[in-house]
A and B are shown apart, each in its own frame.
Chain A
Amino acid sequence: MQKPTIIEVNHVSKQFADGKFALNDVSLSVQKGEFVTILGPSGCGKTTLLRCIAGFQTVSSGDILLNGEDVSQMPPHKRPVNTVFQKYALFPHLNVFENIAFGLKLKGFDRATINNKVKAALKTVGLTDYEERDVDSLSGGQQQRVAIARAIVNQPEVLLLDEPLAALDLKMRHDMQMELKEMHKQLGITFIYVTHDQEEALTLSDRVVVMSEGKIQQIGTPTDVYNEPQNCFVADFIGESNILSGRMIRDKRVEFMNLEFDCVDVGFGEDVPVDVVIRPEDIYIWATDKTVQPSQTEYDPDDRVPKGKFTKWFGVVQSSIFKGVHYEMIVKTSDGFEFMVQDYHEFVSGTEVGMLVKPEDIQIVKKEHYIYNYFDGEVQKNGKVRFVDADWDVLPERIEGKNPGEKVRVRVAFRAIDLQDHEEEGTLSGEVHFILFKGNHYHLTIRTDEGNDLYVNTNDVWDDGDRVGIVIHPEDILIDSLAN
């Protein structure tokens, strides 16, 4: 049964004064009573989206409908939504009662009604008899509860929560998560919850909205986004994944690590480069030497391998870490591909193992870009070519017959971009913006200081946020004429 839509975000963009897009054509609809989580790393635009819904920020384009009414231009105090702020934002000059009663007093309720409502709200958040307390005297968790009570006491149609648990310690956070879920059930209010914690998002929500770079990457139930990630970002951000470059041979048949596998995905076309996502817990692992026994006793080597015709591959365990319930092992194949495998049995470092994955556990993801970076370039007077806001030396024969000022298409292979530790050694400098381990190499997104993105494949290990110098050798810069 489809419930009525309460919030509709239609093609909303938010551009800040510096020209950067915090939100880029975001569309989302939320049903009445739903618990929706907006999940993403910091700077992905999730808080901006929430602030646009609350009315603290205006949208640059697009509109936001609340119960079918366009509220894009409505000031925050007129919107039937309430917000729980990340740092609580309790009024320090008012006590607990006055904080919670703030909204009710503005709406002109009489004293008795206010009293009853505040008492009820305090009871909901488990702070009965805290009315007279000074807010500064409360612990972080208690302040959080007051902030929630202050919002829900107004019986908003939508409750917006901006990373409300981020400041609490782990144990407290888990308790509050359960309480929030309980409150959501009890109150029947629509919750829109912003977090960067993927576990929190999966635990709490009916639906998860995964955001990155101001765009929605995927919307789905927690199981959907975990089991069926639509792209590498989602696969990498939510849970652990093995991500490899592959090739779709035809429907239901994929190749990676130079092996062919059956899979269940269709519609990618034939002979199309794709990314392959395999969750570490979906890999079956067994010792190839049947005399080798893993740490546990109940282990039947023949029972480890599912019956059927599956493609198997082999490797040697590199490391093993106990993770409480399972062991997390890194296995390396003879071709140099590394896999993360999770299993209840431990295969110690050095064990030769076989692995397989069932077709339904192979997730095929469309490649958004592959092999080459493409840039718009312009031939310069000095024989250089200008692209990504820098002038580059190129082989003279590649721009033969081209006049200065002529626009060209520049192509640089991911592999051809050289990263230097020292920024000054590069023609350009930038920052490692996103890292994806592809089994036997890293796929990096480098953001230059001018804000251009370059994709780089490398075997070197870099960290998120590392400053790098970018070098591209003249022979690696391919120039294509623009088709007129």
Chain B
Amino acid sequence: MKQLTEITLSRRTWAWPYVLFLVLFVVLPLLLIIYYAFTNGQGDFTLYNFIRFFHTTEAVNTLIYSLAIALITTIICLLLGYPAAYIMATAEFKTPAVMALLFILPMWINFLLRTIATVELFNMFGLPLGEGALLFGMCYDYLPFMIYPIYNTLQKMDRSLIEAAEDLGANKREVFTKIILPLSVPGIYSGIVMVFMPTVSTFAIAELLTHNKITLFGSLIQRSFGEGGIAMWNYGAALSLIMLIIIALTSFFDQGDKDDAQKGGLV
């Protein structure tokens, strides 16, 4: 009997379902991707899938184009999100929570629905779908992910640091450039990663907002698996792996920051 209670109560026991979950849905798929990426249809080892990608100009261009779109989205989100976060964190609002809620409200709705709604909006106002609509949709979807980490760092910032800077002779602009901005860098990093990572791999937004006219890297992967049939799985797996590596690189860029304690709350 005693042994049984020990097994049910030990913390290790509670972790098993999660371990199982992680193995089944994270580790195993990852291994499968790697396996498929380095094999051909017959299951023999090959680098052909990668060679094929780098020799397909269209595919490489799609990757570069996707990275550029993701970068532009991230920059726009940063330019829009930082002031918003700053206003929320510093405003003499009685309830900054209300404003925070307004920013988070769209996230209560599934992003596919939101994107479809955006398409309808563009149609209603007679605006053309395409690159502009794509950028608009991406920014609209991912802006909250930029605002939140920045808002978190700014809000946690010690007010007395700002007072100390003023006391030492810094005017409002100098307080911002010399104290607030450098201290919010961890939040900016987090925000960039939070926006950049998903926008690189997005495909649904692109398909809906451009009527499939613009192909992003995510769409390319999706098509390899969806339309190409089993024959294309190996190629799709290789593309997925390339994207994973790019995303991993951007998060290393974030990890490089020395002070974890001051990081924004989301990553």
Contact = CB atoms under 8 A, between A and B. Distances in A.
B183 A54 contact: no
A102 B161 CA distance: 12
Interface in B125-157: none
Contacts, number: 63
B166 A91 contact: no
B163 A85 contact: yes
Task: Give the interface centre of B168, B174, B178, B259 by most chain A CB atoms within 10 Å.
Answer: B168
Interface string A66-86: 000000000111100111010
Given A93-B182, A93-B183, A106 B160 contact: no
B167 A54 contact: yes
B154 to A, nearest CB: 14
B162 to A, nearest CB: 9
A383 interface: no
Interface residues of A, number: 24
Contacts of B166: 55-56, 75-77
B171 interface: yes
Given A87-B160, A89-B158, A89-B161, A82 B167 contact: yes
A457 interface: no
A92 interface: yes
Contacts of B259: 92
A247 interface: no
Task: Give the interface centre of B166, B171, B179, B183 by most chain A CB atoms within 10 Å.
Answer: B166
A195 B217 CA distance: 64
A363 interface: no
B163 A89 contact: yes
A56 B165 CA distance: 11
A410 to B, nearest CB: 37
A154 B168 contact: yes
A359 interface: no
Dominant SS among interface residues on chain B: helix
Contact of B174 (A85, A87, A90, A106): A106
Contacts of B262: 92
Contacts of B183: 91-93
B168 A150 contact: yes
B164 A85 contact: yes
B17 interface: no
A55 B183 CA distance: 24
A82 B168 contact: yes
Given A89-B158, A93-B182, A93-B183, A77 B167 contact: yes
B2 to A, nearest CB: 48
Nearest to A82: B167
B169 A77 contact: yes
Contact of B169 (A85, A90, A154): A154
Contacts of A301: none
A106 B164 contact: no
A468 to B, nearest CB: 32
B220 interface: no
A81 B182 CA distance: 26
A103 interface: yes
A75 B168 CA distance: 12
Contacts of B163: 54, 56, 76, 83, 85, 89
B232 interface: no
B156 to A, nearest CB: 12
Contacts of A323: none
A91 B179 contact: yes
A107 B171 CA distance: 11
A81 B262 CA distance: 31
Contacts of A75: 166, 171
A89 B164 contact: yes
Task: Give the interface centre of B161, B163, B169, B178 by most chain A CB atoms within 10 Å.
Answer: B169
B186 to A, nearest CB: 10
Given A89-B158, A92-B183, A93-B182, A83 B167 contact: yes
Contacts of A106: 168-170, 174
Contact of A107 (B165, B169, B179): B169
Contacts of A82: 167-168
Nearest to A79: B167
B233 to A, nearest CB: 48
Given A92-B183, A93-B182, A103 B169 contact: yes
B158 A102 contact: no
A94 to B, nearest CB: 8
Contact of B164 (A78, A83, A107, A154): A83
Interface in A265-319: none
A150 B169 CA distance: 12
Contacts of A81: 167
Nearest to B181: A93
A444 to B, nearest CB: 36
B172 to A, nearest CB: 8
Contact of A102 (B160, B168, B171, B182): B168
Contacts of A76: 163, 166-167
Lowest 5 CB-CB distances: which A-B pairs, in order?
Answer: A103-B168, A89-B160, A89-B164, A76-B166, A106-B169
Given A54-B167, A92-B161, 9 more contacts: A56-B166, A75-B166, A76-B166, A76-B167, A91-B165, A91-B179, A92-B183, A93-B182, A103-B169
29 contacts: A54-B163, A54-B167, A55-B166, A75-B166, A76-B163, A77-B169, A77-B171, A81-B167, A82-B167, A82-B168, A83-B164, A83-B167, A85-B160, A85-B164, A87-B158, A89-B158, A89-B161, A89-B164, A91-B165, A92-B262, A93-B183, A102-B168, A102-B170, A106-B168, A106-B169, A106-B174, A107-B169, A150-B164, A151-B168
